[in-house]
Amino acid sequence: MVVVFKHTPVLLDEVVTLIDPKEGETVLDVTLGLGGHAETLLKKIGARGVLIGLDADAKNLAQAQVRLSVLPGRKEFRHANFRDLAQLDLPKVDILFADLGLSSPHVDEPGRGFTFREDAPLDLRFDRSRGLSAVLWLQRISLDDLTRALREFGELKDARRLARKLKEGEMNTTFSIVRAVEAVFGWKAPSVMAQVFQALRIAVNDELGALDALLSSGPTLLKSGGRMGVISYHSLEDRRVKQAFRVLTTAPKHADTGQDLHPADYSPLTRKAVVPSDEEQHRNPRSRSAKLRVIMRRTSALS
C-alpha cells in the first residue's frame, strides 16, 4: 500500500506576497518537501516559468515530483543537500526559497525516528543515503561533543548527565532515548523530551552547518532584483538568518569617516521577521515557531 503523507505549507500567503513570483521567473526551492510552497509558486510563474526543486529526502522529493508534474512550466528535481548549492552548477534565479527543518511525514511516518511518541529505529536523517544514523552517530561521538550538542542545540541544562547516560547504554531506538531521558530528568522528562530529539536531529543532520553554507552561497545565486526567503523554526536558525541578512543588507562603511562606501548589494524586504497569524497557528500548530525573512538583490548589484 502506498501511503501519501501531507504537509501544510507555512506562511504561504506571506511568502507569495513578499517574494512576489512573476510570470516566466525561475524559482529555486531548496527544501521542496511535499511541494506545498512550490505548487503555489509554480502556478504564479506559469508555463514560461522554471522550478528547480531540491530536497535531501528522496521520498519527499519523489512525492513532490508526482504532485507538481501535472502543472505547466519547466521543472527540474535534484536529490541534494542545500549545503552543496555552490557545487550544483545551478543557474542564477529570480527566487530562492528555503523552508527549514523537518516536514510532517518525518514525524508522521513510523520508522524514521523523528518522534519520541512512537518506538522506532533511531535514524533521524533527512537523507538516509548519506551520513551516520543517530545510532551510529551516538556511538562515535565523544562525551564532550555530545554534551555540547545537547546543550547548544537542545538548550538543555544537565546536558552532561544525559550525555553520560546516552553513552552508557545501547541507544538503538527512540524509546531507548526516552528511557534515558526519564532516568536523568525524572518527572521533568516530558518537558525536555522535544529538546533532546531536536538536539539529536540538528546534530545528526548538521543542520546549522548546512544553513551557514546556504546563507553564504544562496544570495550569490540571485539575479538582479532576485528575492531570497527563509522560514526558520527555532532561535538557533533564526539568529543565523537574521545575522547573515543584516550583513548582506548593510552598506560597507569607510574605515575613517564611517560613511557608506556604496549601497549594500541586498535590501531587506522584511524589517522584522514575519510570523504566522493567530488563525494560522491555531489551524496548523506546527507553524507556531515559524519566522520568515526575505531579502532582495539590488538591481545595481552584479549578477
Please report, as ranges, the residues that interact with ligand SAM according to CB under 6 A. 7, 9, 30-31, 33-37, 54-57, 60, 81-83, 99, 101, 103, 126, 210
The one-letter amino acid at 262: H
Distance of CA 7 to the CA centre of its chain: 14
CA-CA distances (angstroms) from residue 147 to 5, 153, 256? 34, 10, 44
Residue 99: name the closest of 188, 164, 28, 180 by CA.
28
Q: How far is the CB of 133 from ligand SAM (least distance, A)?
A: 15
SS3 content of the chain, % helix, strand, coil (to 5): 45, 15, 40
Between 60 and 198, name the residue whose CB sits nearer to ligand SAM.
60
Q: How far is the CB of 36 from ligand SAM (least distance, A)?
A: 3
Between 83 and 291, name the residue whose CB sits nearer to ligand SAM.
83
Q: How far is the CB of 231 from ligand SAM (least distance, A)?
A: 8
Between 71 and 189, name the residue whose CB sits nearer to ligand SAM.
71
Q: 99: helix, coil or strand?
A: strand
For 65, the enclosing helix (H) or strand (E) is helix 58-68
Between 163 and 276, name the residue whose CB sits nearer to ligand SAM.
276
Q: How far is the CB of 201 from ligand SAM (least distance, A)?
A: 10
Between 101 and 184, name the residue whose CB sits nearer to ligand SAM.
101
Q: How far is the CB of 298 from ligand SAM (least distance, A)?
A: 27
Side-chain-facing half-sphere of 168: CA atoms under 13 Å? 13
Residue 12: name the closest of 243, 231, 302, 273 by CA.
231
Q: How far is the CB of 129 from ligand SAM (least distance, A)?
A: 12
Distance of CA 265 to the CA centre of its chain: 24
Cα 180 to Cα 170: distance, rounded to the nearest angstrom: 10
Q: How far is the CB of 286 from ligand SAM (least distance, A)?
A: 9
Instruction: Report whether 254 contacts 261 (CB < 8 A).
Output: yes
Close Cβ partners of 99 (under 8 Å, ≥ 6 residues apart): 9, 10, 31, 33, 37, 230, 231
For the record, the C-alpha cell of 164 comes out as 553520560
Between 82 and 153, name the residue whose CB sits nearer to ligand SAM.
82
Between 147 and 232, name the residue whose CB sits nearer to ligand SAM.
232
